A and B are shown apart, each in its own frame.
Chain A
Amino acid sequence: MQIHKYDTVIVGAGGAGMRAAIEATKRSRTAVLTKLYPTRSHTGAAQGGMAAALANVEEDNWEWHTFDTIKGGDYLVDQDAAEILAKEAIDAVLDLEKMGLPFNRTPEGRIDQRRFGGHTRNHGEAAVRRACYAADRTGHMILQTLYQNCVKEGVEFFNEFYVLDQLITEVDGVKRSAGVVAYELATGEIHVFQAKAVIYASGGTGKFFKVTSNAHTLTGDGQAAVYRRGLPLEDMEFFQFHPTGIWRMGILLTEGARGEGGILRNKDGERFMEKYAPVMKDLASRDVVSRAIYTEIREGRGCGPDGDHVYLDLTHLPPEQLDAKLPDITEFARTYLGIEPYTDPIPIQPTAHYAMGGIPTNVQGEVLSDNTTVVPGLYAAGEVACVSVHGANRLGTNSLLDINVFGRRSGIAAAEYAHANDFVELPENPAALVVEMIERLRDSTGGERVSDIRTELQETMDANVMVFRTEQTIKTAVEKIGELRDRYRNVAIQDKGKRFNTDLLEAVELGNLLDLAEVMAVSALARKESRGGHYREDFPSRDDVNFMRHTMAYREVDANGTESIRLDYKPVVQTRYQPMERKY
């Protein structure tokens, strides 16, 4: 076991982690631990754009953006945080441009902007052009630009290091972050990183669904590490299903395709979104569009032999426009479906895309251990975190914005904290939990296979806690997840080696997915209303009297070692916007 000491340790090297690293490295001795190589992170898969009210192409302002974000999140957004997001968006985009990001340009040479779902002028009048973009690879450009600037700043990376445990030491009755424990993929060695400040920026949890736009590696490792140490997870029932995933594969086709004029059609060729969202039509918020698609399918207007998908139609757009603005997604249609989007519509279905919930933080990125108490030295930013700027449903282009605004904020706050504070003593035998976890999995002689349990988990999540939920379906999922967690205790792996043991790490990741799936389902069961991405057919209306509040889920272990989930609730921060009925 090796012990390292750094002022600031950042877990994850996607957009949030690297944006934090650029700030933290300038101010403190910083290490970035990532289970991939930085440029493999899933920020690079984001396509459509990054929202900021630059007003480069038409009138816009950050107040409209704030309102759209709050309405998009079905009023579960903390309004102070949304205001920061929208205000700081402008500098966040300009900072990236100065770092070298090659945005598309207007004829005047300014950053070009396009329409995106839920972004409107003057509180919902019409769609506004707010998304700054680089073709349909905006996330790729952000990831590359941030990595380039990490190279420039000399950021120290530990590539292919899996962080598996969060170390917490209680000092004078206060839980403080002491560091993290990591597993080195190349050697199988365990490393303890003692750090004054730790920032989680390890991304989402989408791999507990089967049809998902998420990478294989998005297994909620950061959320699981802090949750197991007794810290809460906020609003985990809110998961976004992006309307346009490639049918059955889930590969993302950007909302920018509809921003450029693409239209959703059912088997009769009807532009069905006109019925569901008369003003914004295909550019209504994602939860609204995903429900509309499944309603069409359920009512027999789906396409294909089984009527189980609809079409994204780009055939009326000039091929030059597709080549210039949407080259990657049209290429995906050619590669994976063998069809030509110039002339054929693309079969799509909603795909599990983004976790609105996560590790609760305040607007400085400080992690909370309950509704108000900060864990000194612990930070989170990006999809792993819940600030909450996305509430019950995130607007498209607000996640690339979130990672930049709150990545930067947490990087500065963590480094300043590290500057002003000393190391916290490591707990006795700091690697014990990880050593035990690794040895149990490596030495297990049980008869269960990782892939079987994972497949069953993904199938039950798709069937029961996706776009439409009821008490019955959620209970089915909770029961199934419980059964899978029991079976997981008997899981065995074939690779017993130390070198690049991805067999072992897949087993560890499955454990994380099971824990988080259970939190999601239990949180969803208790929320007896419909709001944003959480739609209960048995409670189809929003209930502001009983549920205008964030869910806080805690893991509890009783004296017999039995685990359970305790739910608590946290008030929503409301400033100037009163909840209204949400229409697009």
Chain B
Amino acid sequence: MSTPTIDEHSSALDEAEQGTSHLITVTLRIRRFNPEVAAEADWVDYQLPIDPKERVLDALHKVKWEIDGTLTFRRSCAHGVCGSDAMRINGKNRLACKTLIKDINPEKPITVEPIKGLTVLKDLVVDMEPFFQAYRDVMPFLITKGNEPTRERLQSAADRERFDDTTKCILCAACTSSCPVFWNDGQYFGPAAIVNAHRFIFDSRDEGGEQRLEILNDKDGVWRCRTTFNCTDACPRGIEVTKAIQEVKRALITRRF
């Protein structure tokens, strides 16, 4: 059994235990929009001192709390599990609370804008309703027939593992709003809804797979996917989104799942 002591430290641990890092000055270039004030969106620059180990969310809070209280964004847990703060940072969809300043080239202005394909309501806040509607449309709940057992349903560890990846989804919309097909046609269900359908289609306890597959066989369904992998790159939970979509396509062809 290992007994770590001060002398055995890796350089990463030494670095992590440094109380305060040096502060650097960064420029946040934020896409601002407030229809109560102006009809058009505009880029606004904010300069601020920050510890490079802090998160983009910390930088946004510094702007809101110390410079301009009108800056508006959603956030809650601040460590990547609630899915509130998906935004486009330096052109890529990320969670602001999972993106450290030091990891995104802070020498240059850091651009922050709302995720694409959903109507912007104010600053970084978008209308999430179409996104959640697509989710609700795939029947995202366990469907079973017959009498319920008294105890739990049995499921082998292997059967449980089969859909493990897609249970990680936090519905942040980073995937769906990175999809070029979704940008061009908001009717497309989008990756997140398909991920959540996958989570049930491949659950051995579920008996609603056929119904869900029919929903996804629709013209706005799974066949719209052009496998650009944007969704997989964007997912902050590391879900293999494109693979899940491909598995749903295959299930539609073979009707085996």
Contact = CB atoms under 8 A, between A and B. Distances in A.
Contact of A269 (B3, B79, B83, B125): B3
A304 B17 contact: yes
Contacts of A94: 151-152
Given A45-B77, A313-B4, A102 B98 contact: no
A141 B5 CA distance: 37
A102 B18 contact: no
Contact of B203 (A102, A110, A216, A247): A102
Interface string A26-65: 0000000000110111101100000000000000000000
B36 interface: yes
B141 A44 contact: no
B64 interface: yes
B100 to A, nearest CB: 8
Contacts of B142: 98-100, 148
A217 interface: yes
Contacts of B78: 215-216
A579 to B, nearest CB: 36
B157 interface: yes
A45 B141 contact: no
B156 A109 contact: yes
A83 to B, nearest CB: 22
A313 B2 contact: yes
A191 interface: no
B96 to A, nearest CB: 12
Interface stretch (A383-391, A493-501, A534-542): A493-501
A493 B4 contact: no
Nearest to B152: A97
A42 B10 contact: no
A217 B13 contact: no
A501 B16 CA distance: 36
B39 interface: no
A105 B155 contact: yes
Contacts of A268: 5
Contacts of A97: 152-153
Q: Summarize B's interface: helix, strand, loop or mixed.
A: loop
B17 A499 contact: no
Interface residues of B, number: 72
B77 A144 contact: no
A305 B132 CA distance: 47
A265 B6 CA distance: 12
Interface in B60-83: 64-66, 68-70, 72-83
Interface string A265-276: 101111000000
Contact of A141 (B80, B163, B167, B206): B167
Contacts of B151: 94, 110
A102 B121 contact: no
Given A451-B65, A499-B35, A503-B70, A316 B141 contact: no
A503 B77 contact: no
Contacts of A40: 74, 76-77, 82-84
B57 to A, nearest CB: 9
B68 to A, nearest CB: 7
A306 to B, nearest CB: 6
Interface string A93-124: 11001111011111111110000000000000
Interface in A485-507: 493-495, 497-503
Interface string A168-207: 0000000000000000001000000000000000000000
Interface string B156-190: 11001001100111110000000000000000000
A149 B139 CA distance: 10
B243 interface: no
Interface in B8-52: 9-10, 12-13, 15-19, 34-37
Given A111-B152, A140-B170, A345 B13 contact: yes
A340 interface: yes
Given A93-B152, A100-B141, 14 more contacts: A40-B82, A42-B76, A45-B81, A151-B136, A303-B17, A306-B19, A336-B79, A339-B16, A345-B13, A451-B66, A494-B68, A495-B69, A497-B36, A499-B35
5 closest cross-chain pairs (CB), A and B = A100-B142, A494-B69, A451-B65, A269-B3, A109-B154
30 contacts: A37-B128, A37-B132, A40-B77, A40-B83, A45-B81, A94-B151, A97-B153, A100-B200, A105-B160, A109-B155, A137-B81, A140-B170, A149-B141, A216-B75, A216-B78, A270-B3, A309-B17, A316-B1, A328-B81, A335-B100, A339-B16, A345-B13, A347-B13, A347-B17, A449-B65, A450-B65, A500-B121, A500-B125, A503-B64, A503-B70
